[in-house]
Amino acid sequence: MAVNPETAHRTVGAANPPQLRAIRLRRQRIFKAIVLTLTLLFLFIPLASMLLFTVRHPLSGQWSLAPWQAIFTGNGESLGADLTVLWEGLGSSLLLCVVTVVIMLVLMVPTMVIVHIRSRRLERAIEWVSTLPLTIPAIVLVVGLGPIYRWLSADVLSTDPVWLCFAYVVLVMPFAFRSIAVGLNSIDVKTLVEASRSLGASWPRVFFRVIIPNLWQSILSASFISIAVVLGEYTVASLLGRMNLQVALYQLGQANSQVSTAMSLLALLFGVILLVALDLISTAMRTSKEGK
């Protein structure tokens, strides 16, 4: 039986008049606003509570900016807090961030590029190995890493916290792999390599002048996420008896919890700045590519 298109169009229009569509859109906007508001409240109420705790003494109820002044002046003697531990932990964490990111990039980027070109089956195996740390709790990793670190500390290396970088590379591998994999899948690596090689470019030149410029966004994403993971890591460093920012914050909290909470807020703010910087850099790079 043939259906008249004009009749069908009028039927659909009658069933969905403009008023109903406007009501549906209004309900969707209200629903999105409610979900966004609840999400923001879920995220910001704990942060606001932390900020309130740092400026209002929990016992006396007096308001004071002394914890913040102690952090920015580097003198916490009046509050009974030794900030030397804090600066030591912060320095160790920043050094760990740099070393961990360098080792991660040197290991992951060339390996993933070569495997992406040569063998898709091997790429799936590397993906499984790289994401495996997500399924293993940190305390279980420490049980396996403990004897290795005892041997390294006694016979090969020292007890300096910087050697935690080997354990941290394992922790950041799942996040780094996913970021780099997204970049590799967004470009035609094989075509770029074959075209460059056919023009006489050497493999190092192909890697550094052709592939890496197309992966900058993914490399930055992997680096920033790795920095955030290293700055927030506590379990491995604590159980292995090494000093980093989170361990220092825990020890500082035993003397003055307000100073420790204020520094935790600053660390969270630094993580937010990293994510915002990643978004701005990604947007700028995307705009520059579209402009070309």
Q: What is the DSSP string of 66-89?
A: HHHHHHHHT--GGGT--THHHHHH
pLDDT of residue 123: 82
Residue that has been written with the tokens 């056919």 in this structure = 198
| Residue of 19, 169, 180 whose CA lies nearest to 98 | 169
pLDDT of residue 3: 47
With respect to residue 276, please indicate whether it lies within any of the assigned structural domains.
no
pTM: 0.78
Same domain, 36 and 130: no
Same domain, 143 and 160: yes
Residues in CB range of 60: below 8 A, 6 or more apart: none
CATH number, domain of 152, equals 1.10.3720.10
With respect to residue 275, please indicate whether it lies within any of the assigned structural domains.
no
pLDDT of residue 203: 84
With respect to residue 12, please indicate whether it lies within any of the assigned structural domains.
no
Model confidence pLDDT, tens digit, residues 202-229 = 888 888 888 888 888 888 889 888 988 8
Same domain, 120 and 231: yes
Q: Predicted confidence band at 133 (pLDDT cuts at 50, 70, 90)?
A: confident
User: What does residue 56 show for φ and ψ, rounded to 5 degrees?
Assistant: -130, 120
Same domain, 195 and 57: no
Same domain, 46 and 134: no
Same domain, 126 and 68: no
Q: What is the mean pLDDT of the chain?
A: 83
With respect to residue 262, please indicate whether it lies within any of the assigned structural domains.
no
Same domain, 95 and 227: yes
Which tops the pLDDT comparison, 33 or 158?
A: 33
pLDDT of residue 199: 85
- Coil, strand or helix at 63: strand
Same domain, 59 and 116: no
- Coil, strand or helix at 56: strand
With respect to residue 5, please indicate whether it lies within any of the assigned structural domains.
no
Q: Which domain holds residue 69?
A: 21-73
- Count of domains observed in the chain: 2
Angle 216-231/84-118 helices, nearest 10 degrees? Answer: 140
Asked whether 176 and 184 are in contact (CB, 8 A), the reply is no
